[in-house]
Structure 1
Amino acid sequence: MGQDPLEEIRSPGARLKNRVKKLQVRSPPEEQDEEKESSGARLKNRVKKLSPPEEQGKEKESSGAHLKNRVKNCKSRSPPEEQGEESMMMASRSLQLFVLLVCSLTIITIECSEVEKQNPNLYNITKTVVHSAVSKGAVCLDGSPPAYYFDPGFGDGVDNWIVQISGGAWCVNVTDCIGRTKTNLGSSKYMDKLEFQGIHSKNKSANPDFYNWNKVILAYCDGGSFVGDVEYVDSATNLHFRGKRIFYAILEELLEKGLKNAKNALLAGGSAGGYPAVLYCDSFRDSLPSAARVKCLNDCGYFPHFKNPELEKNWHVRFSGVAELQGAAQSLPKSCTSKMKPELCLYSQNIQQDTKTPLFIFMSAYDNVETKYTFGDYMGGLVDGGKCSSSQNQSLIEMRSEFLNALPKGDNPKLRGVFVDSVHHHNSLLRRWIPETAINVNGQLHTKVFADWYFDRKYTYLIDETNELPLTNNARLIWQVDNTTGRVIYTA
């Protein structure tokens, strides 16, 4: 699906580096060339500068050996009063070193706490690797153990959980999948820290209903929307298609972390992760206490099966490849595969009717990934630039019509909530969750509509019927961070 625009966001670590660089401007000129050195290397150079010239060539001596040689030299050439002065000089240097160390640690502590306080909407989480999953055969494409990202809840949110399944398109042939094994989409070896944002924001004013929940994001490394359960591994490629096993292995670990005691829980997924949020919705519900409120959310992953062959042809190639590689005929529900081809069971519309747990769907009728895969990369630029021809607009309208027909019926919004807008964008759960970026349809924000639906305050089935053509994505805001204040700012 291309590079996520949010990868342009500066991480807190990068912001910290900029803050420290600004502090160094106030240091002596000779110290300003040390920006690329580690804090340990800088500290070592500072100590060298405090020492007499004849001592600066002794870097490789241990501190004990160094002190011993100094004492011997003092005894051989200095009278007692000079030795006392030397001891005082050493004590003074030790005090300077101690003060420098304390100041450095204080600066780092203050900077880190400022990053956390100033940016509750955007923060980094380190991966948790599930090594125990390997013995169950639950591994990434390259055979490495799966991973997830976990941020514990706090306050009255300690018994509430958001479990989100990541997206990242699909690999549709062996060559494509091998390519993924060298990235975080096919191997946990390449997974770095992950920036939590959107519904994972800790900002109470921006995210009042979910800010203090336990937050989990399942890393996506199987290439097939977590559906694969193929035992055989070709020695020539060493590709493993085990997404289904990954989901259940991570779920088992989360249950032991406290998910089994949940009072409120949400299984969500975006893009390629939206489908498994539907597929495993009932299993997720069944693993939790019967008294718990448990619901599911498919965000920007409800891609329709088009009846028009011209609209469907690219999707058919894509999902046929996924179904064959991942062994979908064996791993997907028989309630679907007994009625249609396995690749058709990879469309959410063909499995949602068998899902008993309440499900909510976020989707743009003109999702920009849908337009890309349906028409080609060129269409996105035409739509955003408002340069579509009359025939292209007609094709877009037909795409919208088929998508709306694929949605669940609106007669029971308690069981099937829907929020459909017309903005040419992708993903409502992360990029647009805070008020400044929320989607508005008929005066209703998608964040408020979903929260009301989840907490049984109001059940909504809402479709933008006003705009027949896509809206230019003038609300496509990229988060940036002011390096001086640490504040999150927005630019179109």
Structure 2
Amino acid sequence: MMMANLQFFCLLVCSLAIIKTGCAKDNWVEKTIVKNAISKGAVCLDGSPPAYHFQSGFGEGVENWIVQLSGGGWCTNVTDCLDRTRSIYVGSTNIMGPWKFEGLFSINKSENPDFYNWNKVFVRYCDGGAFTGDVEYVDPATNLHFRGARIFEAVMDELLAKGLKNAKNALLAGTSAGGYPTMLYCDHFRSLLPKSKRVKCFADAGHFIHAKNPMQARGFEEVYNALVTLQGSTKALPKACTSKMNPVLCFFPENILQHIKTPIFTAMSAYDSFQVNKTLGQDIFSCIFSRTCTSSQNKTLREFRSEFLTTLPKPHNPKLKGVFIDSFVHHSAIQWRWTIQSGLVVNNVSAPEAFADWYFDRKYWYVIDEKVLPTIPK
């Protein structure tokens, strides 16, 4: 009986996020279905309502919020989208389970000293179009819905009512395919919180470039063209960009970052594993890990790095556009490597430290790893 009571007490304390070690080591958070989303037409690919995972802030963090848009690639045709509806991760909230909060979402103060006690929201990705689609028509043969832009608005409406509207400090973050909508909606997010002291954005591993000479079929341009034609994403794209160029090109950060007025931080590897594989091809991606790259392949990697760096915001005002670019081969650090002890260190500063300093206006970082060839993370 005593042991049962102890286990119950530990579970209760963990759920309230009062302690940061011990039973809180694996911090799994249940999903919350967005109320009234279906009536707004804000639904996932299969018509299920969108969902997020929420953990209340505590202590001095009760008035601070992180909202993260999750990633998970895209679907570029009907077959791909139907396949996603059967995934437990990216297509239907009917089959999604709890999510583990770690990295920037950790409640361990020693791992995440600046954000451990904030309100945290992890928005599930279930539209296949990077939260940008908006097509009214639903083909009865497939029952596929492309409503990502509506999902974003429905989630924001619910979070504002839940307390986000009273945030003292707020952060909109996004990973991988969630990185683009973080840029896209950054200024809009700021407008929703006019009374907040500090509102900024963070794009993690989402700076996919329009490579001039991709070795694999058109790189990301093929993906974004599908989002425009299949998902109806043009309506969500910034008019400052679409009025000047093909909407497909307005998915690329180099064409929209200059239009973002809200402070935004970009963290990415110059040799992001997803981007290298997608743009340069499997052969070069594989030779990195086997350490068998030829001089010609290394030349291609160096040229790609140089091209990538030219697309970043210039360091004239790091207060507005902060940057942390490492040379480790990885994709997305905000979850699995986003701790002070992560090992993602450039010029004696870690990625989490640089971002936190920048967010809280302690120091404005613009960090570029000088290594010209990729490094395998430990």
TM-score over 0.5 for the pair? yes
What pairs with 1:303-322 in structure 2 (closer than 5 Å)? 303-310=208-215, 313-322=218-227
Q: For 2:364 and 2:9, how far apart are their aligned partners in 1?
A: 45
More helix by share: 1
8 A Cα contact 1:180 1:186, kept in partner: yes
- What's the CA shift for 1:113? 6.1
What pairs with 1:331-480 in structure 2 (closer than 5 Å)? 331-465=236-370, 467-474=371-378
8 A Cα contact 2:211 2:219, kept in partner: no
- What's the CA shift for 1:196? 0.4
Among candidates 325, 328, 339, match of residue 230 of structure 2: 325
Q: Which residue of 2 aligns with 1:163?
A: 67
1:207 pairs with 2:108: no
8 A Cα contact 2:167 2:196, kept in partner: no
Q: Which residue of 2 aligns with 1:126?
A: 30
Amino acid at match of 2:81: C
Q: Which residue of 1 aligns with 2:135?
A: 230
1:251 pairs with 2:150: no
Q: For 2:205 and 2:196, how far apart are their aligned partners in 1?
A: 29
Unpaired segments ≥5 residues, structure 1: 1-101, 475-492
Runs of 4+ in 1 over 4 A off after TM superposition: 113-116
- What's the CA shift for 1:378? 4.2
1:112 pairs with 2:17: no
8 A Cα contact 1:366 1:424, kept in partner: yes
Among candidates 29, 32, 50, match of residue 146 of structure 1: 50
- What's the CA shift for 1:103? 5.2
Q: For 1:235 and 1:285, how far apart are their aligned partners in 2?
A: 38
8 A Cα contact 1:386 1:472, kept in partner: no
Q: For 1:286 and 1:206, how far apart are their aligned partners in 2?
A: 31
Q: Which residue of 2 aligns with 1:27?
A: none
Amino acid at match of 2:167: A
SS at match of 2:36: helix
Q: For 1:310 and 1:336, how far apart are their aligned partners in 2?
A: 27
Q: For 2:13 and 2:35, how far apart are their aligned partners in 1?
A: 34
Q: For 1:457 and 1:312, how far apart are their aligned partners in 2?
A: 43
SS at match of 1:142: coil
SS at match of 2:328: coil
Q: For 1:434 and 1:331, how far apart are their aligned partners in 2?
A: 33
- What's the CA shift for 1:289? 3.0
- What's the CA shift for 1:182? 1.0
Q: For 2:69 and 2:59, how far apart are their aligned partners in 1?
A: 25
For residues 114 and 383 of structure 1, do their structure 2 counterparts lie closer, same or farther at Cα, with a shift above 3 Å needed?
farther
8 A Cα contact 1:336 1:345, kept in partner: yes
Amino acid at match of 1:106: N
Amino acid at match of 1:407: L
Give the structure-1-normalised TM-score.
0.73
Count, aligned residues: 372
Q: For 2:23 and 2:324, how far apart are their aligned partners in 1?
A: 28
The superposition leaves residues 110-132 of structure 1 with CA deviations (integer Å, 9 ceiling, x where unpaired) of 56369774154541000000131
Amino acid at match of 2:85: T
Q: For 2:313 and 2:23, how far apart are their aligned partners in 1?
A: 38
Q: For 1:119 and 1:389, how far apart are their aligned partners in 2?
A: 48
Q: For 2:58 and 2:312, how far apart are their aligned partners in 1?
A: 36
- What's the CA shift for 1:452? 0.6
Unpaired segments ≥5 residues, structure 2: none
SS at match of 1:404: helix
SS at match of 2:28: strand
SS at match of 1:268: strand
Higher mean displacement: 181-190 or 109-118: 109-118
The superposition leaves residues 20-76 of structure 1 with CA deviations (integer Å, 9 ceiling, x where unpaired) of xxxxxxxxxxxxxxxxxxxxxxxxxxxxxxxxxxxxxxxxxxxxxxxxxxxxxxxxx
8 A Cα contact 2:10 2:23, kept in partner: no
Larger Rg: 1
Q: For 1:423 and 1:309, how far apart are their aligned partners in 2?
A: 21
SS at match of 2:100: strand
Q: For 2:282 and 2:255, how far apart are their aligned partners in 1?
A: 27
Q: Which residue of 2 aligns with 1:137?
A: 41
Q: For 1:341 and 1:122, how far apart are their aligned partners in 2?
A: 45
